[in-house]
């Protein structure tokens, strides 16, 4: 695996590689890698692409300063995992490489409606920061396929919009299944910050999602939503939302709609840790 810390070195290397005809599969991350991230690298390789992973803890997408400061940084372990996965390139830039003109002077994008609901509403400025960094990374890496985890469903929709706004018609976006722990908890870098009792409780989020999915033809979503809220709050979660949306437009739905591809989404805090997850139905 070749490691690059500067944009210019990476760009020079990729220019030569592209001249050889390689196709690039790109996995952007903020580090603290787990099997979910590695599954994206594996998928890029299985698709026959030259795999590039970036690790960049992007300061502009954290609306909560404490969350940024406490975000796990495990670079040596991350490198070991990427080596084991036989990742081809790791891009490990500093803030000044991604934002040479300063964060304030780096292009941002407008995601309209998508930025007004759920994660957008609960984390003001978050998607602005995601768009800013992913926009920069796409300019630098110019991948053929971008690999994203379904766990951050709304982020996947935002990045699909970014592709459209940036006019990247040739870019494929592969949204890959969420990797889960044995009890169903979605893998996330933040899980390692859960206390032991909260780690056990955290699986309730997935249980609620499965119950929302299972009851789609037999119950009212309003009733199931209330059951989930009540259960989670009783167990000590601070539940932000339990929502149902159209899977492609993210239009929020009050009720199940037969024949419509939907997604159920939950965000909740357990102690200091904010968790999100979703399921398609």
Partners of 176 in the beta sheet? 149
Residue 93 interacting with ligand PAF (CB under 6 A): no
Residue 158 in 3-state DSSP? Answer: helix
Q: 193: part of which helix (H) or strand (E)?
A: none
Of 14, 79, 133, 262, the one binding ligand PAF by CB under 6 A: 133
Q: How far apart are CA 182 and CA 159, in angstroms?
A: 29
Q: Which is nearer to ligand PAF, 138 or 224 (CB)?
A: 138
CB 273 within 8 A of CB 203: no
From 4, 26, 33, 37, the catalytic residue: 37
Q: Which two tokens stand for residue 84?
A: 């084991």
Residue nearest ligand PAF by beta-carbon distance: 28
134 touches ligand PAF (CB under 6 A): yes
Residue of 97, 152, 240, 277 interacting with ligand PAF (CB under 6 A): 152
> Minimum distance from CB of 29 to ligand PAF (Å)?
5
* Residue 14 touching ligand PAF (CB under 6 A): no
Q: Which of residues 37-66 bind ligand PAF (CB under 6 A)?
A: 58, 61
Helix (H, G, I), strand (E, B) or coil at 28: strand
Asked whether the beta carbons of 248 and 260 are under 8 A apart, the reply is: no
Do residues 245 and 228 make contact, with C-beta atoms less than 8 angstroms apart?
no
Runs of H (alpha helix) within the chain? 7-19, 35-46, 65-70, 75-84, 95-98, 118-122, 126-141, 153-165, 196-201, 204-214, 221-234
Residues 204 and 259: their CA atoms lie apart, in Å, by 27
* The one among 25, 28, 36, 120 contacting ligand PAF by CB under 6 A: 28
Residue (88 or 119) nearer to ligand PAF, CB: 119
Report the residue number, 133 or 157, with the smaller CB distance to ligand PAF: 133
Cβ atoms of residues 5 and 92 within 8 Å:
yes
34 is catalytic: no
Q: Of the listed pieces 127-135, 200-208, 214-222, 266-274, which binds ligand PAF according to CB under 6 A? A: 127-135
Identify which of residues 28 and 93 has a Cβ nearer to ligand PAF in the complex: 28
Q: Which of 10, 14, 24, 30 binds ligand PAF (CB under 6 A)?
A: 30
Using CB under 6 A, list all residues that contact ligand PAF. 28-30, 58, 61, 130, 133-134, 152, 155
User: What are the catalytic residues?
Assistant: 37
């Amino acid at each position: 695996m070749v490691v690059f810390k500067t944009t210019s070195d990476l760009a020079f290397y990729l220019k030569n590689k592209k001249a050889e005809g390689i196709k690039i599969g790109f996995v952007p991350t903020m580090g603290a890698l787990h099997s979910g991230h590695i599954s994206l690298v594996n998928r890029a390789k299985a698709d026959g692409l030259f795999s590039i992973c970036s690790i960049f803890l992007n300061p502009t997408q954290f609306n909560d300063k404490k969350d940024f400061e406490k975000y796990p940084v495990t670079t040596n372990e991350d490198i070991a995992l990427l080596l084991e996965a036989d990742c081809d390139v790791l891009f490990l830039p500093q803030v000044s490489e991604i934002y040479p003109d300063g964060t304030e002077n780096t292009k941002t994008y407008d995601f309209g409606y998508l930025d007004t609901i759920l994660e957008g509403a609960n984390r003001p400025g978050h998607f602005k920061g995601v768009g800013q960094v992913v926009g920069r990374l796409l300019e630098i890496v110019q991948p053929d396929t971008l690999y994203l985890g379904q766990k951050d469903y709304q982020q996947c929709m935002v990045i699909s919009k970014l592709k459209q706004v940036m006019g990247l018609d040739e870019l494929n976006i592969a949204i890959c299944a969420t990797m889960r722990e044995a009890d169903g908890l979605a893998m996330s870098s933040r899980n390692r910050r859960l206390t032991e009792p909260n780690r056990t409780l955290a699986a309730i989020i997935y249980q609620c999602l499965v119950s929302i999915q299972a009851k789609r033809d037999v119950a009212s979503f309003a009733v199931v939503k209330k059951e989930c809220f009540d259960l989670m709050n009783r167990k000590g979660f601070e539940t932000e939302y339990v929502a149902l949306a159209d899977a492609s437009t993210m239009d929020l739905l009050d009720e199940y709609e037969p024949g419509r591809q939907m997604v159920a989404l939950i965000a909740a805090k357990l102690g200091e840790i904010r968790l999100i997850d979703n399921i398609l139905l």
